[in-house]
Structure 1
């Protein structure tokens, strides 16, 4: 599904989007808002690159960050839930990861955690290891995957 088709589907369902982005730095929101007329679907985007921003803007708990680290499904869940809570959206996607260069044995370059939260839906999280593709390619892959998560959320909403 193209970005325009995702927006059309959301529009037809009366769904607004919020994004909570870390390693992509707003690329998902940019992809959505590149389409004319997207303002009736895209409610807001949070770029929460630092741990402090994740806590202050999205309500991510300091204990969760300390225990699991910013690149974790636990933090992705809290980011998605927070984006939903602090917006007027019905569907929110979060992204937190290591675009590179660098990483560690336990959190390698290319590891990205995602969250999908929706009104009346159970929050979904997943981790994808894109590999050491280079910073730009990891960020693009994460952006594209986040867009497919919006598709998934819209399908779940349509089924209800």
Structure 2
């Protein structure tokens, strides 16, 4: 299923609002996944921000920082390379990570992420993988921008083993 997004769209979830901006080189699926991730994790991370630089070489798609400016939660939408995953898992062992994919099986990604987790023996936070189906816009986004999405709505997601040593 296809959909189109305006360059800017006000979205809301759980009583909060955010203006999503669709970059000119960005696929609409990527922008939608960022909005869906923001909404899905908002109950657990109510101070999450979208596309906010945090002073790291990598810029998260969705992030919530602690009082010391370290990421408590970090989400990525779409393509994320092995080098980035390994780096993030090692450098931020207490950060809850999530990677969302658009209508893509999670098996290969799960293997790659689990291998990175296995090399980071002091990891203490979850690492989630999410597959958003092609009808996500129609299923989860109302015409007024209200996002209605809970974990039970997802057809496929995984929480990988996070605790070691």
Question: TM-score category by the smaller chain?
Answer: 0.3 to 0.5
TM-score (norm 2): 0.32
TM-score (norm 1): 0.32
